[in-house]
Amino acid sequence: MRNIITVKDMCLWYGEHQALKNVNIEIPEKSITAFIGPSGCGKSTFLKSLNRMNDLIPGVKITGELRYEGADIYAKGVDVNNLRKEIGMVFQKPNPFPMSVYDNVAYGPRTHGISNKLQLDEIVEKALRDAAIWDELKDRLKKNALGLSGGQQQRLCIARALAVQPRILLMDEPTSALDPISTSRIEELVMELKEEYTIVMVTHNMQQAVRVSDYTAFFLLGELVEFGKTDDIFSQPKDKRTEDYITGRFG
Amino acid sequence: MFLMMGLIAVGCVLLITVYLLISGVPAICEIGPINFLFGTKWASTAAEPKYGILPFVLTSIYGTAGAILLGVPIGFMSAVYLSKLASPRLKSVMQSAVSLLAGIPSVVYGLVGMLVLVPGIRKLFNVPDGASLFAAIIVLAIMILPSIIKMSVTALDAVPKEYEDASLALGARPIETYFRVSVPAAKSGIAAAVVLGVGRAIGEAMAVMMVAGNVPNMPDSLFQSVRFLTTAVSSEMAYSSGLQRQALFSIALVLFVFIMLINAVLNFLLKREKE
C-alpha cells in the first residue's frame, strides 16, 4: 500500500510547552487510520498539523518534516487553501453553517470557483449521496441546516467536506457528541468512504478504533508510542504502555 | 421599593407619551393633518402663518439616510477589521478610541463642524454657504459610527469560531470566510446596529442645528440650508406662543412616532438575534 502522508521527527510547541515529540509515521492511502490515546496526549494536535489548522493558534512552532504526496506541507509558498482542499476536515462538534443544507454543501465548491447551477446541483447531490444522507435530506435542501439532528448535522458536515473532492479526510472525534445510533451510522459511512478516500480519525473510543480502523497509532504524552495494523496493536502490542492503555489500566 | 424605582422609568415614558399626545394633537387637528404633514411651507411668524412640516420631515429623512449611506459602510468595515483582523492590542486601542468618540458631547461635534466642515464645504464646492444638508450628513455619519462599530463588533465577536474553522478547513481564504460566514451569521446584530444608528441620527439636535444652517427650506439640494425635525422644535420654542407653540409640540409628536417605529424595528431585530 502506498503512503500518502509521511512524517519524520516532527515536534510541536505551544509557546514553551512541547506538545509533540519526535513523531514518525507513514499513513497508507485509502485506509482508515485511528489515533488513540488519553486526553491531552497530542493526537488532535497532530491531526490538525496535517492540514495546517494549527496555523490559526498563535505561538505554535513546528519542526521536522511533514509530507503529503511527497511535498512538504510546511514549505514556504505552499498554498494553504489548496492544501486544505486536498486534506479536508470534520470536527468534533457538528458545525454546519447557519444556512440551508444546499448552501452548506455548495460552500466549498463555490469557494473554489464553481458557480454553474447545474454543476453545483450535481456536486451537492453526489456529496450528499456519498455521505449517505441524500435520501433523508433531498426534500429539505432549502431548509436551514441547524434544524437537523446532531447525527444528520455531522453527516452533512462530512458531505460538505467531500464536496471539494479531498483526497484525505481528517476526522477529530467525529462521533463523540453523538448518540449510539448516529455513531454507528457514521462508522458505517466511514468504512464505505475508505474505498475512495484516506481517512485519519482521532477517537476517544478504543472499541471504535477496533471496529473501523485498519491502522492504529497510540499517542501518550506527546509521543507516538506505537503504530501498526489495528489487529496487531490490539492483539499483541509491542510496547508495555500500549498494552496498559488498551487493557484499561489507565486513560 | 425596587418596584417603585423601576416604575419611575416606566412612568416617565407614559407621562411623556400622554403629554405629547395631549399637547400635539390639537394643533394637527386645527391645521389639518394633510396641511400639517404635507405642507411645504413653514412660516410660523408670518402675518398669515403657514405650518407645513414637510421640509423638516424630508430633511430628517434625507439627513438620516445620507448619514447611514456614509456611516454604515465605514462602520461595518471597521467592525469586520476590528473583530477579525486586528491584533488584540490594536483592537483594544481602537475600541477605546471608538468609545471616546461616543463620549464626545454633540455640541462639540457641532462646534468642530461649524469651524472646520462648513468653511471647508464652502471652499471645496464653491457654494455661498457651507452650512447645509451635506454638512449635517457628514457630522451625523461620524456621530453614528461608534454605535454601529460597537454593536457590529459585538455581533461579529459572538459568531462561533467553529463556523470559521469549518470554512477555513474547506480551503476558503480568511477574508472570504469573514464575509461569507461570519457576517451572515451576525447579520441581525449588524442590522440592529444600523437601526440604532438611524435612531441616533434622527434624534440628534444640537450638532445639526449648528451645521445645517437652520433655515426651513425644502431640501432640494445637498447644499441647501435646512432645518431638521429636532431643530424645528428647539429653535422656536423659546419665543413661541399660541398655535405656533402647539404646532411645535405636534412636530415633537411626529418625531416621537418616528423614534418609536425605529425602536420597534430594533427590538424585533434583537429578538431575532437571540433566537
From B160, B165, B185, residue closest to A53, measured CB to CB: B165
Short-list B87, B84, B80, CA closest to B148: B80
Give the global pTM: 0.86
| pLDDT tens-digit series, residues B170-197 | 999 999 999 999 999 999 899 999 999 9
**Are B162 and A157 inside 8 Å of each other by CB?**
no
**Would you call B165 and A95 a contact, using CB atoms and an 8 Å cutoff?**
yes
Put simply, the answer to whether B171 touches A161 (Cβ < 8 Å) is no
Partner B contacted by A85 (CB < 8 A): yes
Indicate yes or no: CB of A53 within 8 angstroms of CB of B169: yes
Determine contact, residues A209/A34, Cβ cutoff 8 Å: yes
Please report whether residue B173 resides in a domain. yes
Number of inter-chain CB pairs under 8 A, A vs B: 61
Q: Average per-residue pLDDT in chain B?
A: 92
Report CB contact under 8 Å: A160, B160.
Answer: no
Number of domains into which chain A is organized: 1
Of residues A96, A99, A111, nearest to B170 (C-beta): A111
Residue B10 lies in a domain: no
On the question of pLDDT at B122 being above 80, the answer is yes
Q: Which of A81, A88, A160 sits opposite B173 (nearest CB)?
A: A81
- Which range marks the domain in which residue B270 is found? 50-274
Cβ <8 Å between A112 and B171: yes
pLDDT value of residue B275: 62
Domain count, chain B: 1
A165 conformational bin, left if phi > 0, alpha if psi -120 to 50, beta if neither: left
Q: What are phi and psi of A33, to 5 degrees?
A: -110, 130
CATH number at residue A236: 3.40.50.300
* Closest chain B residue by Cα to residue A57: B165
B184 vs A56, A83, A99: nearest CB: A99
- Within a domain: B70: yes
User: What is the ipTM for the molecules in this complex?
Assistant: 0.91
Q: Cα–Cα distance between B215 and B22 in angstroms, integer?
A: 28
Strands B50-51 and B42-43: antiparallel
CATH of the domain at B267: 1.10.3720.10
* Helix, coil or strand: residue B262: helix
B144: closest CA of chain A, how far (Å)? 29
CA distance B52 to B41: 5
pLDDT 10s per residue in chain A (251 long)? 789 999 999 999 999 999 999 999 999 999 999 999 998 899 999 999 999 999 888 899 999 999 999 999 999 999 999 999 999 999 999 999 999 999 999 999 999 999 999 999 999 999 999 998 999 999 999 999 999 999 999 999 999 999 999 999 999 999 998 899 999 999 999 999 999 999 999 998 899 999 999 999 999 999 999 999 999 999 999 999 999 999 887 75
Domain hosting A92: range is: 3-246
Residues of chain B with Cβ-Cβ distance to A147 below 8 Å are none
